[in-house]
Amino acid sequence: MTPAATANYETISAETQNHVCTITLNRPDVLNAFNDQVTTELSDALKSAERDPDVRAIVLTGSGRAFSSGQDLGDLKKKYVPGYVPMLGKDLRKRYNPIITRMINMPKPIIASVNGVAAGAGCSLALACDMRIASKDAAFIEVFINVGLIPDSGSTYTLPRLVGVGKAFELCTLGSKIDAEEALRLGLVNQVVEADQLAETTAKVAGKLARLPGKAIALTKRLLNQTFENDISQQLEAEAFAQETAGQTEDHFEGVTAFLEKRKPEFRGT
């Protein structure tokens, strides 16, 4: 086990150990709601993890009893007075969209370890991850409709891909909260575990991903994200190109050699 490397932040924490970077939203007193500092620090932590060659997998989670309740509406009390015209699109383009874009396009796998409620932009953040492992205490809610808004931060992209357009429309327009078991039934999460087993279970899955061939995972993630935009001919060609790339990696050679030698492969992510 390698020693942990930590980064200094105020509203989140970031620690890397055994090739897994765990980023924790750390404003438990407001259910890990997003303010400007949170999005700035989260963006920086994700960028650092993507660029760090020692990091092969990323975990996103929250401290306390929530994953994230979304935008901190407390910051808006002074703004929302008669005559105020919010420019929400500008705020999304500056703060949230770069985070979601980086997560979707990042070659490294990201796991959401959902310890409690994931609401609004917090739900969107969880959906933008490649896998979701949920505590039985977790819940998901596209709360935007309750304040007269549309789902943002990528939810209209990720949610239909996970549960289908019809169910996505229901969840987005009715603003219904779903618990962890319902989320599992819908395919919104990959696993549901007892609250006291969440960290251990997430660590095991993240550790396994970190030990697998990194280039093959990155190429697989890219292909899966493209599948709804490509027709079959385009997707087959994309697979052929990606397979040729994967076939020229050291990890592919190691995998075949280990199989022939009847031993466990030691992948290095190259």
- Give pLDDT tens digits for 144-153: 999 999 999 9
**CATH (residue range 214-260):** 1.10.12.10
Check residue 2 and give its pLDDT: 61
Identify the bridge partners of residue 131 per DSSP, sorted by sequence position: 111
**CATH (residue range 5-211):** 3.90.226.10
Comma-separated ranges of CATH 1.10.12.10 domains in the chain = 214-260
* CA-based torsion, 64, 68, 69, 70: positive or negative: positive
Check residue 6 and give its pLDDT: 76
Please report, in angstroms and rounded to a whole number, the separation of the first and last CA atoms in the chain.
Answer: 21
Check residue 8 and give its pLDDT: 87
Check residue 3 and give its pLDDT: 58
Check residue 1 and give its pLDDT: 57
Please write the tens of the pLDDT for every residue from 64-84: 999 999 999 887 777 888 888
Comma-separated ranges of CATH 3.90.226.10 domains in the chain = 5-211
pLDDT surpassing 90 at residue 102: yes
